[in-house]
């Protein structure tokens, strides 16, 4: 059981190192992930230390508590495998996910071995009932929030959709104030007015198409961590003000560019 537990923890730790330090997202470096990488590694080390020194019940609880983190480690790989294919740290993510059933087996087996058969039946089953209630409470309080937080900060649309803007467009690259490169499309303005349609290039094309057909310049681009744009995915809107700021700066210059190809260069120069 100990060897299986340590191997499973090692698989999770390998993915943490790979995800945060060895193969960080475009536009980021290992230094940007010090907290998100070192804190999980420290917790895994603490869990291993406590497991080696704890009683059977403690060992079972530690193994079972790591099942969800191990499973979540592979969610990113599962999501992207059906869209852009496996790449980068997806392989170690799948390895970490494979540790989830191992940890579950270790936890359940250890828990079964920790049973007290010499107590009175009423006390024995009462204790098991209280433990079950406690496990359900922990799941309700921590499992769902942890899952939502992990998925929201690791998974985003990776593919660039087909452009259906109803007008000719140019591919543009914007640079944010914190040095990230965002990619999008710009439809040149016919009435010297431009509108930013945000966020992303997937669910916003209907609105962009309506504006473009009425002569407005339209700038639509992927937010950080989405599509071909830099940075880690983030569904919570942190630093989206910088993304919008880059779009405002770019569109002010690009809406006045009428010669073919000049809008894209105007976006790049204005963003910088």
Q: What is the pLDDT of residues 21-58, one digit of tens each?
A: 999 888 889 999 999 999 999 999 999 999 999 998 88
pLDDT single digits (tens) 215-250: 999 999 999 999 999 998 888 888 899 999 999 988
Instruction: Say yes or no to pLDDT of 140 above 80.
Output: no
Q: Which two tokens stand for residue 137?
A: 């409470």
Q: What is the pTM of this model?
A: 0.81
Tell me what percent of the residues of the chain surpass a pLDDT of 90: 58
Report the 10 Å Cβ neighbour count for 142: 12
3-state secondary structure labels for all residues of 195-212: EEECCCCCCCHHHHHHHH
Distance CA 130, CA 140 (A): 15
pLDDT single digits (tens) 76-120: 999 998 888 888 899 999 999 999 999 999 999 998 887 766 666
Q: Which two tokens stand for residue 55?
A: 């009683």
**Torsion angle of C-alpha atoms 137, 140, 145, 147, degrees rounded to 10:** 110
What local confidence, expressed as pLDDT, does residue 117 receive?
A: 63
Of the pLDDT bands very low, low, confident and very high (cuts 50, 70, 90), residue 192 is confident
Q: How far is CA 237 from CA 86, 131, 241, in A?
A: 26, 38, 8
Of the pLDDT bands very low, low, confident and very high (cuts 50, 70, 90), residue 144 is confident
Tell me what percent of the residues of the chain surpass a pLDDT of 70: 89
Within 8 A by CB and 6+ apart from 176, the residues are: 182, 224, 242, 243, 245, 246, 271
Report the 10 Å Cβ neighbour count for 5: 23
Distance CA 263, CA 49 (A): 59
* Cβ-contact 266, 225 below 8 angstroms: no
Q: What is the DSSP letter of 178?
A: T
Q: Which two tokens stand for residue 160?
A: 């660039």
What local confidence, expressed as pLDDT, does residue 271 receive?
A: 38
Instruction: Say yes or no to pLDDT of 202 above 80.
Output: yes
- Domain architecture of the chain: domains with CATH: 2-152 (no CATH), 170-271 (3.40.50.1820)
Within 8 A by CB and 6+ apart from 73, the residues are: 12, 15, 16, 93, 96, 97
Q: What is the DSSP letter of 89?
A: T
**At what angle are helices 240-254 and 262-271 packed, to 10 degrees?**
130
């Amino acid at each position: 059981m100990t060897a299986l537990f340590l191997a499973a923890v090692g698989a999770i730790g390998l993915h943490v190192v790979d995800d945060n330090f060895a193969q960080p997202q475009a536009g980021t470096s290992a230094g940007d992930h010090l907290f998100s990488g070192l804190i999980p590694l420290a917790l895994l080390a603490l869990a291993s230390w406590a497991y080696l020194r704890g009683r059977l019940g403690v060992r079972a609880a530690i193994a079972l508590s790591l099942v969800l983190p191990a499973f979540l480690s592979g969610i990113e790989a599962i999501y992207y495998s059906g869209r852009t294919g496996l790449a980068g740290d997806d392989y170690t993510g799948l390895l970490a996910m494979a540790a989830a059933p191992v940890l579950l087996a270790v936890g359940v087996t250890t828990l079964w071995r920790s049973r007290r058969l010499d107590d009175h039946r009423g006390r024995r089953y009462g204790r098991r009932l209280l433990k079950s209630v406690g496990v359900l409470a922990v799941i309700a309080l921590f499992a769902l929030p942890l899952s939502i937080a992990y998925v929201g900060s690791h998974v985003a649309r990776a593919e660039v959709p087909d452009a259906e803007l109803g007008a000719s467009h140019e591919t543009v690259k914007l640079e944010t104030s914190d040095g990230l490169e965002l990619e999008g499309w710009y439809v040149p303005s016919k009435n010297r007015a431009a509108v930013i349609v945000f966020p992303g290039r997937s669910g916003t094309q209907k609105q962009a198409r309506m504006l473009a057909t009425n002569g407005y310049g339209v700038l639509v681009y992927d937010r950080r961590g989405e599509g071909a744009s830099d940075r880690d995915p983030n569904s919570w809107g942190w630093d989206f003000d910088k993304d919008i700021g880059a779009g405002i700066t770019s569109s002010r210059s690009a809406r006045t560019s009428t010669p073919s190809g000049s809008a894209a260069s105007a976006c790049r120069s204005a963003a910088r």
